[in-house]
């Protein structure tokens, strides 16, 4: 509550005024630099592609056109892959939390046998990975290739997230709490669900959001492990549309090259908008958890 | 607390053990299928330019049913293909067949030769009568698919209804009429027309980048007939092998192009712009482009296409007319079918593949099956009008393997085919072709290289072509080709041009020998 009461001090000396002026000026500049590309993508998506390529569009849409969106929404697999992405994101995030959070908590418990060694086992793959081909073969041998599970199960465990969550548990949940709970007759499981988790909403939100954004934006796993177009996520579909014309000029002769190039160019900006918007809308709702920060004063020692 | 510690420890060990067990089961399952000769199920992987659905599989599946096998398709979109290919090859998770010459280049086949089987022992009169007939009728096709060691790693195609001429120039007829100009017939008249465009049409780009190499399209009247993409810039002059970037014809052409550039007739952004920018100039609402190269006017200029017509073959300074043509590469190819070591019962597979090599099958694999893309008539075939918003080209791609996969055709059969839609796609191109193909000259054929040669080409060519195109841009924009020429040639030599040319000459000699056998 203390932070709310703090008022911005009015600048008194000239020196301070200049300092404030420079700081505000730079911040505004920085904000503009970050916002402009986003703004450009949005206006470009509503403009005639010819004007975008010729540089006529720079601040306001020119010759309004919804053609990009129109062509995009005509893509037969767009809705299907939109649905897939949402499903992978929801299921993948839930599964990610399910596997990472309990591990992170377990690793904070001093009574876990071989705690250090288990921690080490999680840390090693962060630095040394098997490489694409061995992982591909393992995935294949598990029969996960070309199933929805390949997007959810194999890459759910994230050592990085585990370490972050572990640190959170260590820092903000005092050990005394566990002893107090034991005195009141609670077992580990009950303690974890009724005390630890409710106190850790912030870290759940943070890890959840990281996982969700990661899955939402990922295309490489889908590219490698999925062949069935009905299973592909949105990002993979959009990537195909976007890079369609890169190599076409040399590879095709005839009418097909230009036909494909036109389609892809019209859809570029529109597809960026439709793929980024939903995940950006999630941020404000989770913002409060980020602000809430670590819990203070849950227990008096 | 002690026993709790132990419980958790045991739990961890159990989980670990379970995971290990699962892994073991998985790997055991993968290796069940031993070799057999009764296998009827085959996996065919293919690469498509865009996601056009699965309708194209219908006709090949019909053929499979007749041949008594079942085909499962792994369809990859071109944008993903390179990454997928790498994983498939290195993991050994191979399909039985790769279909389409866009799946693998010669170099890639050479690098992964152990994954592909030699098909020559399956190609005989009894098992593959249709293919045998094709090879007998077209000795150059046999030369195209036979590698220098006598093995055959892939099956070929000759595409139906393909033009002789390739890309060419299109000119703005509206501007010609508006300015009262005659259609140019010689190179000098052509330059004159460009000058008029420049002077009298404000904001115009007299000569712009189209959908094909803008420099070689411009210098064509100087007898610079660059072959199709993928031929490493090889040309053929009266049976002599030459590299397109190192001839007197090229030098003369570049000099003329620089003169035009200095007069402001060439798009100054030609060497810096992206494909998208070039495309947008051609399709701008206010027409900007006078002349640009491409396949058909509608493919280049979109809504402006009605104003553009094909430029006749211009008389060059030597008084002769030239067109870009390279039927050996455009219309015929190897690598349309590659069979992997994974395939069991190749004989049954080859029976299916042989059934592609009939006229009926070829036309259906090119435009779509009877009743969908084509129709069989009393004296031949009719190609049906595209449905919905599809262009003729897209329509064909949706319903057939189109440019890829095995096929056979003879020029004589072209007269049997009629088009419901005369002003679209292939029909339009063939009409144009009829007037221009008389000027077509032989191009560098689709020769086979040894693995060693392919490696050398891969090493040398990158550098050669990078340097040549860099100098090309400099000469066209700043001039100086005459002054720099000897330095240029000696530098190309230092980069291994002699080695490169020896390979091309050897390969060409071998090809000629194979054809005349």
| Residue B90 pLDDT > 50 | yes
Per-residue pLDDT, averaged over B213-237, amounts to 87
C-alpha distance from A295 to closest chain B C-alpha (Å)? 28
On the question of pLDDT at B12 being above 70, the answer is: no
What six digits make up the tokens of A238?
Answer: 């959009």
- Do A87 and A129 belong to one domain? yes
Minimum Cα–Cα distance from B89: chain A residue: A133
Res B352: pLDDT: 96
In this model, does residue A89 exceed pLDDT 80? yes
Query: Between chains, do B12 and A252 touch, taking CB under 8 Å as contact?
Result: no
- What is the residue-averaged pLDDT of chain A? 83
Q: Which of A141, A146, A178, A182 to mutate to test the interface with B (most CBs of B within 10 A)?
A: A141
Q: What is the mean pLDDT of chain B?
A: 88
What is the set of domains in chain B, with CATH numbers?
41-162+330-419 (3.40.190.10), 168-324+447-516 (3.40.190.10)
**What's the whole-number mean pLDDT along residues B143-155?**
92
With a cut of 60, say whether residue B24 has pLDDT above it.
no
β-bridge partners, B337? B99, B155
Same domain, A52 and A84: no
For residues A27 and A157, membership in a common domain is answered with: no
Out of A48, A132, A251, closest to residue B102 by CB: A251
Cβ–Cβ < 8 Å for B135, B142: yes
| Residue A7 within any structural domain of the chain | no
| Angstrom distances, CA of residue A266 to CA of B51, B264, B276, B332 | 17, 31, 10, 33
Going by the DSSP 8-state scheme, the letter that residue B424 receives in this structure is S
Residue range of the domain that includes A37: 14-64
Per DSSP bridges, beta strands B308-310 and B289-294 are unpaired
Probe site for chain B from A143, A191, A258 (most B CB atoms < 10 A): A258
Higher pLDDT, B36 or B147: B147
Is residue B352 classed exposed, middle or buried when 0-12, 13-18 and 19+ CB atoms within 10 A define those classes? buried
A67-81, B372-386, B493-507, range with the lowest pLDDT: A67-81
- The mean per-residue pLDDT over the stretch B124-133 comes to 94
Exposure pattern of B304-325 as b/e (b: 16+ CB <10 Å)? bbebbbbbbbbbbeeeebbbbb
Among the listed residues A167, A151, A159, A163, the one whose alpha carbon sits nearest the alpha carbon of residue A95: A151
The answer, yes or no, to whether residue A125 has pLDDT greater than 70, is yes
Among B156, B230, B148, which residue's Cα sits nearest to residue B511? Answer: B148
pLDDT band at A258 (very low <50, low <70, confident <90, very high): low
**pLDDT at A293 > cutoff 60:** no
Q: How far is B129 from chain A (nearest CA, A)?
A: 31
CA nearest A230 in B: which residue? B53
- Structure confidence at residue A245 (pLDDT): 59
Task: Please give the C-alpha separations between residue A69 and each of A170, A233, A271, A276, in angstroms, as whole numbers.
Answer: 49, 18, 8, 14
Count of structural domains, chain A: 2
**Top-confidence residue, A50 or A23:** A23
Which whole number is the average pLDDT over B430-453?
A: 90
Is B438:B322 a contact under the CB 8 Å cutoff? no
| pLDDT(B170) > 80 | yes
If you search the block for the tokens 């000026």, which residue do you land on?
A25
Name the residue facing A244 among B79, B283, B330 (closest C-beta).
B79
- In this structure, are A143 and A234 located in the same domain? yes
Residue A98 lies inside a defined structural domain of this protein? yes
A267 pLDDT more than 80: no
Question: Which residue did the predictor score with more confidence, A247 or B12?
Answer: A247
Q: Is residue A50 part of a domain?
A: yes
> How many residues comprise chain A?
301
Find chain A residues with C-beta within 8 A of B77's C-beta. Answer: 229, 240
Position A37 in a domain: yes
Give the one of B74, B166, B295 whose C-beta lies nearest to A255's C-beta: B295
Q: Are B328 and B226 in contact (CB under 8 A)?
A: no
Question: Does residue B428 register a pLDDT over 80?
Answer: yes
pLDDT digits (tens, 9 = 90+) for A201-239: 888 988 998 899 899 988 888 988 988 888 989 988 888
Nearest residue to A254 (alpha-carbon basis) of B350, B460, B383, B298? B298
Collapsing DSSP to helix, strand or coil, B380 comes out as strand
| Residue B229 pLDDT | 59
In this prediction, residues B282-305 reach a mean pLDDT of: 87
- Cα torsion B28, B30, B34, B37 to 10°: value is 160
Are A179 and A96 found together in one domain? yes
Taking the alpha carbons of A72, A74, A77, A79 in that order, is the dihedral positive or negative?
Answer: positive
| H/E run at residue B243 | strand B240-243
Distance CA B260, CA B280 (A): 23
Please tell me whether residues A18 and A133 are part of one structural domain: no
Please report the pLDDT score of residue A247 as a whole number.
56
pLDDT, average across residues B476-484: 95
Q: How confident is the model at residue B56 (pLDDT cuts 50, 70, 90)?
A: very high
Q: Which residue has the higher pLDDT, A47 or A144?
A: A144
Give me the phi and psi of B385, to 5 degrees please: -65, 145
In a domain, A53, yes or no: yes
Nearest to B211 among A114, A142, A257 (CB): A257
Cβ within 8 Å, pair B50-A262:
no
> Mean pLDDT over residues A90-101, rounded?
94
Q: Is the per-residue pLDDT at B253 higher than 50?
A: yes
Give A272's pLDDT tier (boundaries 50, 70, 90).
Answer: confident
What is the nearest CA distance from B473 to chain A, expressed in angstroms? 18
Q: Tell me the chain A residues in contact with residue B76 when contact means C-beta distances shorter than 8 Å.
A: 227
Name the residue in chain B with its Cα closest to that of A225: B84
Answer whether A138 sits within 8 Å of B76, measured CB to CB.
no
Q: What is the DSSP letter of A194?
A: I
Find the helix or strand (DSSP H, E) in which B332 lies: strand B332-339
* Chain B residues with CB-CB distance to A137 below 8 A: 91, 93
User: Which stretch of A285-289, B182-186, B240-244, B396-400 has the lowest confidence by average pLDDT?
Assistant: A285-289
Identify the residue whose tokens are 């249709």. B130
Torsion of CA A18, A24, A29, A34, to 10 degrees: 160
- Same domain? A90 vs A28: no
In a domain, A212, yes or no: yes
Report the pLDDT value the prediction gives residue A254, as an integer from 0 to 100: 57
Which site among A44, A47, A49, A50 would you substitute to test the B interface, given the most B Cβ atoms closer than 10 Å to its Cβ?
A: A50
Q: Are residues A42 and A155 in the same domain?
A: no
Domain match, A293 and A165 both: yes
The answer on A52 and A153 residing in a single domain is no
- Identify the band that residue A278 occupies on the pLDDT scale cut at 50, 70 and 90: confident
Q: Which residue on chain B is closest to A243 by alpha carbon?
A: B79
For residues A147 and A261, membership in a common domain is answered with yes
Chain A to chain B, count of Cβ pairs less than 8 Å apart? 147
Please name the residue of chain A whose CA is at the shortest distance from the CA of residue B91: A133
Closest chain B C-alpha to A112 CA, distance in angstroms? 6
Greater confidence, A65 or A294?
A: A65
User: Is the whole-model pTM more than 0.95?
Assistant: no
- Paired tokens of B50: 């865009």
CA–CA separation, B407 and B468 (whole Å): 36
A110: domain CATH number? 1.10.3720.10
Across the beta sheet with B154-158, the strand order is B70-77, B41-48, B97-99, B332-339, B154-158
Based on the domain organization, do A34 and A158 belong to the same domain?
no
* Coil vs helix vs strand at B151: coil
Percent of chain B with pLDDT over 70: 92
Residue A3 lies in a domain: no
Phi and psi angles of residue B86, each rounded to the nearest 5 degrees, phi first: -60, -45
The strand pair at B41-48 and B240-243 is best described as unpaired
Residue A5 lies in a domain: no
């Amino acid at each position: 509550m203390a932070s709310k009461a703090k008022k911005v001090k009015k600048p008194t000396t000239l020196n301070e005024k200049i300092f404030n002026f420079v700081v505000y000026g730079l911040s505004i500049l920085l904000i503009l630099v970050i916002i402009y590309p986003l703004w450009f993508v949005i206006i470009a998506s509503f403009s005639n592609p010819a004007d975008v390529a010729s540089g006529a569009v720079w601040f306001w849409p020119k010759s309004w056109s919804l053609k990009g969106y129109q062509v995009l929404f005509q893509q037969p697999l767009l809705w299907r892959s939109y649905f897939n992405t949402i499903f992978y994101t929801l299921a993948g995030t839930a599964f990610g939390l399910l596997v990472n959070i309990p591990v992170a908590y377990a690793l904070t418990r001093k009574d876990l046998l071989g705690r250090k060694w288990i921690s080490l086992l999680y840390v090693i793959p962060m630095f040394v990975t098997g490489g694409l081909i061995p992982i591909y073969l393992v995935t294949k041998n598990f029969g996960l290739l070309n199933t929805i599970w390949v997007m959810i199960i194999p890459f759910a465990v994230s050592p990085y997230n585990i370490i972050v969550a572990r640190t959170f548990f260590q820092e903000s949940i005092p050990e005394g709490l566990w002893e107090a709970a034991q005195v009141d007759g609670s077992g580990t499981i009950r303690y974890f669900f009724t005390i630890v988790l409710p106190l850790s909403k912030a870290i759940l939100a943070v890890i959840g959001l990281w996982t969700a954004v990661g899955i939402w934006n990922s295309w490489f796993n889908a590219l490698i492990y999925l062949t069935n177009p009905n299973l592909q996520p949105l990002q993979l579909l959009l990537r195909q549309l976007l890079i369609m014309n890169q190599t076409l000029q040399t590879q095709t002769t005839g009418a097909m090259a230009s036909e494909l190039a036109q389609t892809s160019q019209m859809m570029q900006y529109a597809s960026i908008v439709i793929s980024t918007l939903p995940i950006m809308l999630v941020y404000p709702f989770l913002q409060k958890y980020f602000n809430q920060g670590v819990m203070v004063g849950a227990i008096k020692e | 607390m002690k026993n709790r510690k132990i419980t958790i420890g045991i739990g961890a060990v159990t989980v670990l053990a379970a995971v290990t067990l699962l892994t073991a089961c998985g790997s055991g399952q993968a290796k069940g299928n031993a070799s057999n000769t009764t296998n009827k199920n085959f996996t065919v992987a293919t690469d498509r330019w865009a996601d056009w659905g699965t309708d194209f599989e219908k006709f090949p599946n019909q053929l499979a049913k007749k041949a008594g096998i079942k085909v499962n398709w792994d369809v990859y979109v071109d944008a993903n293909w390179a990454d997928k290919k790498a994983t498939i090859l290195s993991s050994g998770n191979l399909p039985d067949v790769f279909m389409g010459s866009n799946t693998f280049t010669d170099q890639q086949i050479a690098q992964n030769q152990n994954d592909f089987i030699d098909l020559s022992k399956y190609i005989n009169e009894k098992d593959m009568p249709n293919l045998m007939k094709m090879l007998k009728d077209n000795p150059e096709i046999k030369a195209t698919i036979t590698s220098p060691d006598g093995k055959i790693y892939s099956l070929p195609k000759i595409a139906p209804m393909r033009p002789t001429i390739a890309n060419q120039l299109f000119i703005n007829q509206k501007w010609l009429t508006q300015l009262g100009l005659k259609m140019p017939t010689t190179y000098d008249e052509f330059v004159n027309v460009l000058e008029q465009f420049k002077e009298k049409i404000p904001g115009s780009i007299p000569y712009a980048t189209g959908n094909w190499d803008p420099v070689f399209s411009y210098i064509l009247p100087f007898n610079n007939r660059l072959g199709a993409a993928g031929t490493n810039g090889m040309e053929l002059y009266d049976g002599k092998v030459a590299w397109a970037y190192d001839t007197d014809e090229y030098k003369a052409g570049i000099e003329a192009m620089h003169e035009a550039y200095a007069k402001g007739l060439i798009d100054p952004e030609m060497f810096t712009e992206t494909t998208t920018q070039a495309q947008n100039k051609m399709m701008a609402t206010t027409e900007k482009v006078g002349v640009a190269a491409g396949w058909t006017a509608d493919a280049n200029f979109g809504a402006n296409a009605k104003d553009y017509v094909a430029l006749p073959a211009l008389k060059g300074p030597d008084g002769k007319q030239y067109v870009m043509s390279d039927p050996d590469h455009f219309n015929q190819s190897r690598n349309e079918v590659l069979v992997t070591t994974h395939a069991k019962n190749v004989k049954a597979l080859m029976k299916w593949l042989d059934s592609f090599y009939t006229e009926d099958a070829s036309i259906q694999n090119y435009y779509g099956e009877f009743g969908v893309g084509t129709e069989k008539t009393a004296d031949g075939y009719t190609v049906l009008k595209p449905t919905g918003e599809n262009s003729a080209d897209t329509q064909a791609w949706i319903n057939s393997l189109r440019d890829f996969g095995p096929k056979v055709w003879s020029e004589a059969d072209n007269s049997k085919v009629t088009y419901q839609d005369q002003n679209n796609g292939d029909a339009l191109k063939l009409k144009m072709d009829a007037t221009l193909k008389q000027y077509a000259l032989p191009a560098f054929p689709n020769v086979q290289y040894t693995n060693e040669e392919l490696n050398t080409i891969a090493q040398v060519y990158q550098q050669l072509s990078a340097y040549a195109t860099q100098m090309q841009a400099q000469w066209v924009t700043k001039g100086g080709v005459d002054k720099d020429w000897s330095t240029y040639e000696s530098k190309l030599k230092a980069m291994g041009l002699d080695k490169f040319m020896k390979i091309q000459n050897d390969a060409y000699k071998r090809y000629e020998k194979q054809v005349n056998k």
